Amino acid sequence: MSDKKIIAVVGATGAQGGGLVRAIARDASGPFKARAITREVNGDKAKELARLGAEVVAGDVDDPASLKRAFAGAYGAYCVTFFWAHFSPEREHDEARAMAQAAKHAGLAHVVWSTLEDTRKWVPLSDDRMPTLMGKYKVPHFDVKGESNGLFTDAGVPTTCLNTSFYWENFIHFGMGPKPGPDGKLAITLPMGDKKLPGIASEDIGRCAYGILKKGAEYAGKTVGIAGEHLTGAQMAAAFAKALGKPVGYNAVPPEVYRSFGFPGAEDLGNMFQFKRDFNDAYCAVRSLEFSRSLNPALQSFDAWLAANASRIPLE
């Protein structure tokens, strides 16, 4: 029987959890075995993870009993929630609570909880520099994650709160990539002014989480942050131009213009970018590149990510 310690991975068929399962699989002589949690144990993505050596088990964060079963007997877990699947902070809070309770029930030795800042600590609801959304949030998908940190720590679960960064894959899947303007010239549009946006290849989040789990007790009970690079809109546009071989500009729109774009989540994201812009030094400072690289020596730069992914970016 294997003496490897089991890491139960929520979201294993997705970006963050998938990166962790692949990092564990890549380190064949390492201390862990991944247990991939999915609602679709017979799906193609689950089969691929099994092929890499992961144990695949059924689990649904909306079904707390299934999570308790999926966490049982594990050493640790990676916990991530799914705001963009439903756009409900209350539901995301329920997801986090179900994971925290399952972790406590299983007596896990170490949980890495994928979180973000509760921006209301910097911008209280009374601050009208940005609108309050859904009655009690400034950046709903950030605030509820930060608020949920306490669900793990108050339950006494040895937890590393991992502040993640903007995925560069948003340029592929989230419609944020370079688009032609009225003059036909490509440009990216972000309400960041001349401030730096910490970004990361989503695969590197899981790889950094692996580094945290390997260090174990050193990071349990701590909050850490990661990023692949901190780049201004102008710097990202220049990198796009180099990778695509054509000019790419940067439209630095004001946050209120971004909030008015009308796509689902535009107000949330407009407030998010404004928070990152207005508290840029503090936001970047807790996402040290050196620290991220110490967890994950293969951490990708934006240029390296573009070299591998530019052909996947829709340009219209």
Give the interface with ligand NAP as residue ranges (CB under 6 A): 11, 13-17, 38-40, 43, 59-62, 80-85, 141, 164, 166-167, 170
What type of residue is 287? R
Please name which of 169, 179, 163, 175 lies closest in space to residue 284, comparing C-alpha atoms: 163
Nearer to ligand NAP, 31 or 279 (CB): 279
Closest-CB residue for ligand NAP?
Answer: 14
CB of 9 to ligand NAP, least distance (A): 10
Nearer to ligand NAP, 18 or 249 (CB): 18
DSSP 41: T
CB of 44 to ligand NAP, least distance (A): 10
Rounded distance between C-alpha atoms, residue 253 and residue 66, angstroms: 45
CB of 241 to ligand NAP, least distance (A): 22
Backbone angles phi, psi at 162, to 5 degrees: -105, 105
DSSP 262: -
What radius of gyration do the chain's Cα atoms show? Answer: 19
Instruction: Using alpha carbons, list the distances in angstroms from residue 183 to 127, 171, 187, 263, 316.
Output: 38, 21, 10, 23, 13
The burial class, CB within 10 Å (0-12 / 13-18 / 19+), for 128 is exposed
Please provide the size of the chain in residues.
Answer: 316
Nearer to ligand NAP, 38 or 300 (CB): 38
CB of 69 to ligand NAP, least distance (A): 13
Backbone angles phi, psi at 163, to 5 degrees: -80, 115
Nearer to ligand NAP, 182 or 264 (CB): 264
Q: How many CB atoms lie within 10 A of CB 110?
A: 24
Nearer to ligand NAP, 138 or 141 (CB): 141
Nearer to ligand NAP, 85 or 285 (CB): 85
Residue reference for tokens 């993505």? 45
Nearer to ligand NAP, 87 or 291 (CB): 87
CB of 55 to ligand NAP, least distance (A): 14
CB of 120 to ligand NAP, least distance (A): 17
Rounded distance between C-alpha atoms, residue 57 and residue 87, angstroms: 26
CB of 202 to ligand NAP, least distance (A): 6
